[in-house]
């Protein structure tokens, strides 16, 4: 009579996160700071993306000791990252009881052709996307939540803005298409036809789409909400800032009250330095994490 792991409970879990901030943490202490600041979930990692970028080499699923430490430290949901296509890392995380898996381009892909068939799992997945085709393919594979890829670990919002605008603009385009135009468009962007028809009917994606990859300030978070994000992920932005607890709280409040500009001005005062950040022009093509999968 009762059913676990249904599409409704997997997608529903992400619906409950709407309007919230999900923060990257690398230990129990950071997880508690995030929870105290009002994060709706934490992402347990071995290193935040900017450190992964700096360290180079192959980035893998975190040591389970760290994930377990975070699982034990907070009462809010805990997410963790598996490499793209790494079925076993994902199964390990599921077995450990994490609440959501991010099949993430921040880690070095394990499979350069196929993503995980996420419908097979009881645990829900979030995946990155840069455009509607990519979003629709991930949903087709069973992702229950999406996020923009942005460019992780840069503290530069430009790529997340580009990806959010691109997805929104393609949704608007599909919504105004006649039914006979949808098949050709589905072919062009490599999206499942039936899913595009559903998006055309409803005028939105069937799962939530958060912003991620470059959010460093309260205004950045509010901007992404303004552009139609359902919530935000902040990776390096919090624990690479001068005052993580204060930054975290300010970003949480700015995400909720994203059109209250006087409030955002107040929240942004005396925060200390945001993470330093990278200009996209200084990043070599092979260092662009967003291009690691499609």
Partner 1 sequence: MTTIGVLALQGAVREHIRSIHACGANAVEIKRKEQLEEIDGLILPGGESTTIRRLMDSYGIFTAIQDFADKGKPIFGTCAGLIIMAKSIVGQAEGHLGLIDMTVARNAFGRQVASFEAELDVAGIAEDFRAVFIRAPYVVEVGKNVEVLATYDEHIVAVRQGPFMATAFHPELTDDHRFISYFIDLTATTKS
Length of the chain equals: 294
In what order do the strands lie in the sheet containing 145-148?
Answer: 208-210, 145-148, 125-129, 100-104, 78-83, 41-44, 21-25, 232-234
CB of 123 to partner 1, least distance (A): 5
CB of 82 to partner 1, least distance (A): 15
276 catalytic per annotation: no
**Residue (185 or 210) nearer to partner 1, CB:** 210
CB of 116 to partner 1, least distance (A): 16
165 is in an annotated binding site: yes
Task: Report whether 287 contacts 55 (CB < 8 A).
Answer: no
For residue 83, the SS3 value is strand
231 is in an annotated binding site: no
213 is in an annotated binding site: no
For residue 209, the SS3 value is strand
235 is in an annotated binding site: yes
Residues at the site binding partner 1, with contacts judged by CB under 8 A = 1-6, 8-10, 12-13, 15-20, 35, 37-41, 75-77, 94, 97-100, 122-124, 249, 252-253, 256-257
CB of 263 to partner 1, least distance (A): 9
140 is in an annotated binding site: no
Q: Which of 10, 32, 81, 246 is catalytic?
A: 81
**Residue (19 or 140) nearer to partner 1, CB:** 19
List the one residue out of 163, 162, 156, 157 whose CA is nearest residue 279.
Answer: 156
Half-sphere exposure of residue 1: CA atoms within 13 angstroms, side-chain side: 0
Using CA of residue 154, residue 125, residue 226, residue 253, what is the dihedral sign? Answer: negative
d(CA 169, CA 227): 11
**Residue (3 or 282) nearer to partner 1, CB:** 3
Q: Which residues are catalytic?
A: 81
Q: Which residues are annotated as a binding site?
A: 24, 153, 165, 214, 235-236
Q: Which residues are annotated as a binding site for D-glyceraldehyde 3-phosphate?
A: 165
């Amino acid at each position: 009579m009762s059913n676990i792991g249904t599409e409704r409970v997997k997608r529903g879990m992400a619906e409950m996160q709407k309007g919230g901030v999900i923060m990257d943490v690398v230990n129990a202490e950071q997880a508690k700071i995030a929870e105290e600041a009002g994060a709706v979930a934490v992402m347990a990692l071995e290193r935040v993306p900017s450190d992964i970028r700096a360290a180079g080499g192959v980035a893998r699923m975190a040591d389970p000791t760290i994930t377990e430490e975070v699982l034990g430290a907070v009462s809010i949901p805990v997410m963790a990252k598996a490499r793209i296509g790494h079925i076993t890392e994902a199964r390990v995380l599921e077995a450990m009881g994490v609440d959501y898996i991010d099949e993430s381009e921040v880690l070095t892909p394990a499979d350069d052709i196929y993503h995980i068939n996420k419908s097979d799992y009881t645990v829900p997945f979030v995946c990155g996307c840069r455009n509607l085709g990519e979003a629709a393919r991930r949903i087709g594979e069973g992702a229950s939540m999406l996020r923009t890829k942005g460019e992780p670990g840069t503290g530069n919002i430009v790529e997340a803005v580009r990806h959010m605008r691109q997805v929104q603009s393609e949704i608007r385009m599909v919504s105004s298409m006649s039914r006979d135009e949808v098949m050709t468009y589905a072919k062009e962007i490599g999206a499942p036809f039936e899913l595009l028809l559903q998006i055309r009917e409803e005028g939105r994606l069937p799962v939530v789409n958060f912003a991620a990859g470059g959010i460093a300030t309260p205004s950045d978070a509010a901007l992404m909400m303004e552009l139609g994000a359902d919530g935000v992920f902040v990776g390096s932005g919090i624990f690479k800032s001068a005052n993580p607890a204060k930054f975290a709280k300010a970003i949480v409040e700015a995400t909720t009250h994203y059109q209250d500009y006087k409030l955002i001005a107040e929240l942004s005062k005396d925060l200390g330095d945001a993470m330093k950040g990278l200009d996209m022009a200084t990043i070599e093509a092979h260092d662009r994490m967003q291009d690691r999968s499609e």
